[in-house]
Structure 1
Amino acid sequence: KLSFKIICVFQISDEEQGYDLDLFCIPKHYADDLERVYIPHGLILDRTERLAREIMKNMGGHHIVALCVLKGGYKFFADLLLDYIKALNRNSDLTKQIHLILNDTHPHLLDLLLVRDIIDTGKTMKTLLELLKQYNPKMVKVASLLVKRTPRSVGYRPDFVGFEVPDKFVVGYALDYNEYFRDLNHICVISETGKEKYKA
């Protein structure tokens, strides 16, 4: 029987203002649509590597099916699984196979690692986890790059968290606003101009 410890979470305070856009490479077409760079790309990658180590430590020895939940998580999913966990697995004596699939086919066969971009209220994840119960998976764990501190939260917490962030509207690193900003490497706070420009 495995025991899972609570890992340290990178908490970003409510007072954190982020970084001036001029300090980073921002696509010109988004220059007026963002307020600040909130989490730089390099910090995202470093934190993702650390999460990969925690996942390997806590789920070692298991055959894992990794599922990307919604398309906003594809960059985090790719960096976490294809780069860091795969590299750690090559350099490890653990007998682990990471199966990378994007659909929930035969979840009862293996242990599941669900990978998300952001947990906002937590309602989506709670609903998904309830749906997965009907397949009787051996184990389900959730890794999320971001968890938002919001009064709308239902109290759900994933097993692995990259950053805990204030209740701000963030975009970039595949997080979108009406399908825009997915191509932005950094996680940024969208401006009112950007919200108005790209509203549906």
Structure 2
Amino acid sequence: MSASFYQPDTVTCNGEQFKIFINRQQIDERISQLGEQLDKDFADKKPIFIGILNGAFIFLADIMRHVSIPCEVDFMKLSSYGDEKVSSGQVTELKHIDAKIEGRHVILVEDIIDTGLSMNYMVKRMKEENPASVSVCSLLHKKEATKFDVQIDYVGFEIPNAFVLGYGLDYAQEGRNLSQIYVIDKEND
């Protein structure tokens, strides 16, 4: 039985037209590489992967299938966007992790880092609990949009400062189920 993925060439979401930006094969290949690197870097450390909800759930699931080291998983939920395409500038913690992380190797898993506001908050928040280490793994990084000094240890793809959708990323809670990453199609504006 083969898997069926929702991967159209173009998609309309909340009145905006999007086109493929990073295809499924590119995503799979890069996640496999990240998994290999994480296996090497965290061998014998039993890290805890903490996914940032809602966006990182698909990326985290795929990362988990590409690591072979003993590990755990937990989730946090933050909000800085609401239903908008631009961050509000305020981070709200909607759900904290359940696990105790003191003395643990923590890997924060995020779908996208743009300004760095949320991740800056997360790293500081995790360090308050005295982990052995805190690493950051993000599928996407909008380097030119970054305003906060956040060390990103593992990056899937560096992308320009454009609005993207799919593979867990949403626009007003829609589009997360797309298995590829899409960008607004400026040619059809």
TM-score interval, smaller chain? 0.7 to 0.9
The residue number in structure 2 matching 1:99 is 72
Would the aligned equivalents of 1:75 and 1:173 in 2 still touch at CA under 8 Å? yes
Change (3 A) 1:98 1:39: same
Are 2:143 and 1:149 equivalent residues in the alignment? yes
The residue number in structure 1 matching 2:60 is 77
Matches of 1:58 and 1:118, distance apart in 2:
22
- Work out the number of aligned pairs and report it: 162
Change (3 A) 1:33 1:151: closer
Give the TM-score taking structure 2 as reference length: 0.77
The residue number in structure 2 matching 1:121 is 115
Change (3 A) 1:143 1:25: closer
Runs of 4+ in structure 1 off by over 4 angstroms are none
The residue number in structure 2 matching 1:20 is none
Aligned pairs for 1:45-60 (under 5 A) are 45-60=28-43
Aligned pairs for 1:128-139 (under 5 A) are 128-139=122-133
Amino acid corresponding to residue 174 of structure 1 in structure 2: G
Q: Identity, % of aligned pairs?
A: 29
Give the TM-score taking structure 1 as reference length: 0.73
Task: For residue 101 of structure 1, report the CA deviation from its aligned partner.
Answer: 2.0
Task: For residue 60 of structure 1, report the CA deviation from its aligned partner.
Answer: 1.3
Greater radius of gyration (CA): 1
Could you say what the CA RMSD is over the residues aligned between the two structures, in angstroms?
A: 2.6
Task: For residue 37 of structure 1, report the CA deviation from its aligned partner.
Answer: 0.5
Residue deviations 1:93-125 (CA, integer Å, cap 9, x gap) = xxx421122225211142111111000111111
Change (3 A) 1:28 1:165: closer
Task: For residue 184 of structure 1, report the CA deviation from its aligned partner.
Answer: 0.8
> More strand by proportion, 1 or 2?
2
Would the aligned equivalents of 1:35 and 1:190 in 2 still touch at CA under 8 Å? yes
Matches of 1:41 and 1:104, distance apart in 2:
32
Change (3 A) 1:171 1:163: same
Aligned pairs for 1:8-27 (under 5 A) are 25-26=7-8
Structure 2 unaligned regions, length at least 5: 1-5, 76-96
Residue deviations 1:44-69 (CA, integer Å, cap 9, x gap) = 01100000111111111101111101
